[in-house]
Amino acid sequence: MPNVLFYILFFLNCTQSDKSQDSDIKSDVDFTVEKIGDLPDEIDESSGIVVYDNLIWTFNDSGGENLIYGLSKKDGSIQKKITLKNTTNTDWEDIAQNDKYIFVGDIGNNDGSRKDLKIYLLDKHTLMILQFRKLKLK
């Protein structure tokens, strides 16, 4: 009997917490989206973006050149191109940042057979000199 009571109380508690969580979720949030421009033809399959140094940074997905592009926040035009020398864009999938680095993830693995997944770390302070480290993922 104590087990039955436990399960009844457990399920009642779950039901109550679901209802309280639902009431905290706002389904109608107003915000404005503004188009700033189109991606240049040179960028035909962007896989990620990050804003740094007043530019929008992106790159082409798998098989693209080993370049990252700095785009204008005003119209989307290419302002800078940086080649990541000694790298290959096998399947670059994402870009992210923290206070010190920009991370480019060569992590695409559509069929699950890649063994050479990498993350390139670009030091923000030496970005124009383009020193980077490569982290190999297992």
Q: What is the pTM of this model?
A: 0.72
Quick one: fold of 50-136?
Answer: Thrombin, subunit H (2.40.10)
| Segment 1-10, tens digit of pLDDT | 455 555 555 5
Position 87 confidence tier, pLDDT thresholds 50, 70, 90: confident
Q: Residue 63, Cα to own-chain centre: how many angstroms?
A: 18
Tokens of 118: 């990498």
Phi, psi of 18 (to 5 degrees): -65, -40
CA distance 105 to 58: 12
- Cβ count near 91 (within 10 Å): 18
| Segment 38-63, tens digit of pLDDT | 899 999 999 899 999 999 999 999 88
Which residue in 32, 40, 44, 119 sits closest to 84, CA to CA?
119
Sheet holding 101-106, edge to edge: 94-97, 101-106, 118-123, 132-136
Range 55-75 average pLDDT: 92
Position 66 confidence tier, pLDDT thresholds 50, 70, 90: very high
Residue-level pLDDT at 11: 60
Q: In the chain, what are the domain boundaries?
A: 50-136
Residue-level pLDDT at 3: 53
